[in-house]
Chain A
Amino acid sequence: MAYEEVKVKKPLSLILLPILSVLTFFVVWELMVQLDVVPKTMLAAPTQVGSLFVTKLSDPNPDGATIFIHAWVSAQEAFIGYLLALGIGLPLGLFMGWFGVVRGIARPLFELIRPIPPIAWIPLTIFWFGIGLGGKVFIIWLGGVVPCVINAFVGVRMTNPTLIQMARTYGASDWQIFKTLCVPSALPMVFGALQIALACCWTNLVGAELLAADQGLGYLITMGRRLALPDLVVLGMVSVGLAGAAIGVLIDYVERRLLAGIRR
């Protein structure tokens, strides 16, 4: 009987506290603006942002596009950059983990380029690509490719050495060991990379759009600054946050479905 009672009852306070804290945050924010504690030129109240959001659903003024178009442009850029980061970063990391030659060639370069924040590349990318899609995809790709390489690399390095010995005694070639042992061993880390890389891509997207864009959520924030419209700035920030959270939930869902199939 002693082991039967595993019903975990969440105390009411634990359910209420998060709701209360969020509510308090918005109420204080609203009051600070409404009571002129903070000047209206410096911050927009949540209610203003909300009404602007409803307006921006259909009105392209003053920044040239509806919020949906901004979000769509940003999402496109983020996903192209993300997919390219996966397509190049994961194989590179996997090969670097197992093949000494690839590691010898790619590692020093990678370690040199890695510490440079992707945003530092923006001026160069403007020279190279202008302010179109290409430049932003490049910045986003730079941000996403690093965690892909690192995670895939570490995943391969974590392959159980006894398994490699076992394969060696059967006379396995390096390629056979890579294919049948290293890649499957690295999969959990690779799935981790999917999530980390997407977060990196999304963050860099805003950075890229702040400086070089004519559409997108980051551009919306820049326009808000130029036109001195704090509500537009906050709307851009909130949209980025919400979209990022939504993507996180989506990836989490996909990953859980896929890992269920792997059944480790």
Chain B
Amino acid sequence: MQVAALKPDTKQVKIEVKNLTKRFGDLLVLNRINFHVAQGEFLAIVGPTGCGKTTFLNCLSKLIPTSEGNIFIDGEVADPKRHNISFVFQEPTCLPWRTVRQNVAYGMQIKGFPAAKINERVDFMLDLVGLTETQSLYPNQVSASMVQRITVARAFAVDPDLLLMDEPYGQLDVKLRYYLEDELVKLWQTLKSTVIFVTHNIEEAVYVAERILVLSNKPTNIKAEVNVDLPRPRSLIDPDFVAIRKHVTELIRWW
């Protein structure tokens, strides 16, 4: 399927990050970061180790307050109580005392969705990620990749304005990773959510994203922006793919 490059100027701006700055005492971690994300865009963020990716995500999700600047969703200051923000963490965050089905429903229950809608939506999501048959099992009874699929399904289920993903597949082996990346792209294409995907795996970023932001070392700023204008499904050995991957790798390696 051909997906055209979705440049922010040709599509409605959904997320706007203005002047985002975060200091811990004297330590400047995030230095005046500005960027925007279009409605339904899949944005990947890569950067060198220790560049403040986690702090960056915590600011975006409003888990920690920013020192200066802010993040705006549809022109309003982002607020987890008003906006649908979902966060898929690197470590598994399934609730061990809930079944797979109840876990997928959790985000919607917190948001106070009506029961009938939750039921319908959970059925839909379980089907989409292939967990229908395991829905009544507990997280410790399913495999590690399924556990991460539960959290991804839970995140997409609330129909998020902004979906943040913090290296969700970082702890899985390569084969499962490819499989889940394909599934993630399929979910995104079906549900048209706006996704910010943080990873340190450049190949993964080029594989899933429409646009890649490359972060600099601390104090972190956006060093470069790379559009990934490749048809899907993408091939890891396509010369264009390899060219972009090498370009991003160079950007991270040299400063």
What residues make up the interface of A, taking CB atoms closer than 8 Å to B?
A: 162-163, 165-173, 176, 180-181, 184, 187, 262-264
Report the Cα distance A34→B87, complex, angstroms.
77
Instruction: Please tell me which one of the listed residues B82, B85, B110 contacts residue A180 in the complex, with CB atoms under 8 A apart.
Output: B110
Given contacts A165-B89, A180-B110, A263-B138, contact A170 B97 (CB under 8 A): no
When distances are taken between beta carbons in the complex, the residues of chain A under 8 Å from B79 are 171
Given contacts A170-B80, A181-B95, A262-B97, contact A165 B87 (CB under 8 A): yes
Q: Which 3 pairs, one residue from A and one from B, show the smallest C-beta to C-beta distance?
A: A171-B80, A169-B87, A171-B81
When distances are taken between beta carbons in the complex, the residues of chain B under 8 Å from A187 are 97
When distances are taken between beta carbons in the complex, the residues of chain B under 8 Å from A180 are 95, 106, 109-110
Given contacts A165-B87, A263-B138, contact A170 B93 (CB under 8 A): no
Report the Cα distance A263→B136, complex, angstroms.
13
Instruction: Please tell me which one of the listed residues A170, A181, A184, A262 contacts residue B107 in the complex, with CB atoms under 8 A apart.
Output: A170
Given contacts A162-B93, A264-B97, contact A169 B63 (CB under 8 A): yes
Report the Cα distance A263→B110, complex, angstroms.
23
Instruction: Contact check, B111 vs A170: say whether CB atoms are below 8 A apart.
Output: yes
Q: How far is the CB of A260 from chain B (nearest CB, A)?
A: 13
When distances are taken between beta carbons in the complex, the residues of chain B under 8 Å from A163 are 93, 95
Q: How far is the CB of B40 from chain A (nearest CB, A)?
A: 20
Instruction: Please tell me which one of the listed residues B61, B82, B138 contacts residue A169 in the complex, with CB atoms under 8 A apart.
Output: B61
Instruction: Contact check, B80 vs A162: say whether CB atoms are below 8 A apart.
Output: no
When distances are taken between beta carbons in the complex, the residues of chain A under 8 Å from B49 are none
Chain A-chain B contacts (Cβ-Cβ < 8 Å), number:
55
Given contacts A181-B95, A264-B96, 19 further A-B pairs with CB under 8 A are A162-B89, A162-B93, A163-B95, A165-B63, A166-B89, A169-B62, A169-B63, A169-B80, A169-B87, A170-B80, A170-B106, A171-B85, A171-B111, A176-B110, A180-B95, A180-B109, A180-B110, A264-B97, A264-B140
When distances are taken between beta carbons in the complex, the residues of chain A under 8 Å from B89 are 162, 165-166
Q: How far is the CB of B177 from chain A (nearest CB, A)?
A: 21
Select from chain A the residue with minimum beta-carbon distance to B99: A263
Instruction: Contact check, B110 vs A170: say whether CB atoms are below 8 A apart.
Output: yes
Indicate the size class of the contact surface on chain B. Answer: 20 to 34
Report the Cα distance A181→B95, complex, angstroms.
8
Of A170, A184, A187, most B-chain CB atoms within 10 Å: A170
Instruction: Contact check, A166 vs B111: say whether CB atoms are below 8 A apart.
Output: no
Report the Cα distance A181→B96, complex, angstroms.
10
Cβ of B158 under 8 Å from chain A: yes
Instruction: Contact check, A184 vs B97: say whether CB atoms are below 8 A apart.
Output: yes
Q: Which residues from 19 to 72 on chain B have a C-beta closer than 8 Å to any C-beta of chain A?
A: 61-63
Instruction: Contact check, B158 vs A170: say whether CB atoms are below 8 A apart.
Output: yes
A-B contact pairs, 6 of them (CB 8 A): A162-B89, A165-B89, A166-B87, A170-B158, A180-B110, A264-B96
Cβ of B86 under 8 Å from chain A: yes
Instruction: Please tell me which one of the listed residues A165, A172, A262, A264 contacts residue B110 in the complex, with CB atoms under 8 A apart.
Output: A172
Q: How far is the CB of A234 from chain B (nearest CB, A)?
A: 47
Q: Which residues from 92 to 117 on chain B have a C-beta closer than 8 Å to any C-beta of chain A?
A: 93, 95-97, 106-107, 109-111
Q: How far is the CB of A167 from chain B (nearest CB, A)?
A: 6
Select from chain B the residue with minimum beta-carbon distance to A165: B63
Report the Cα distance A180→B107, complex, angstroms.
11
When distances are taken between beta carbons in the complex, the residues of chain B under 8 Å from A262 are 97
Select from chain A the residue with minimum beta-carbon distance to B88: A166
When distances are taken between beta carbons in the complex, the residues of chain B under 8 Å from A263 are 138
Report the Cα distance A176→B164, complex, angstroms.
22
Cβ of B74 under 8 Å from chain A: no
When distances are taken between beta carbons in the complex, the residues of chain B under 8 Å from A167 are 110
Report the Cα distance A165→B86, complex, angstroms.
11
Cβ of B240 under 8 Å from chain A: no
Instruction: Contact check, A184 vs B95: say whether CB atoms are below 8 A apart.
Output: yes
Instruction: Contact check, B86 vs A169: say whether CB atoms are below 8 A apart.
Output: yes
Of A168, A181, A264, most B-chain CB atoms within 10 Å: A168
Report the Cα distance A168→B110, complex, angstroms.
10
Instruction: Contact check, A162 vs B91: say whether CB atoms are below 8 A apart.
Output: yes
Q: How far is the CB of A244 from chain B (nearest CB, A)?
A: 32
When distances are taken between beta carbons in the complex, the residues of chain B under 8 Å from A184 are 95, 97
When distances are taken between beta carbons in the complex, the residues of chain B under 8 Å from A169 are 61-63, 80, 85-87, 164
Q: How far is the CB of A201 from chain B (nearest CB, A)?
A: 28
Report the Cα distance A173→B112, complex, angstroms.
11
Report the Cα distance A168→B58, complex, angstroms.
11
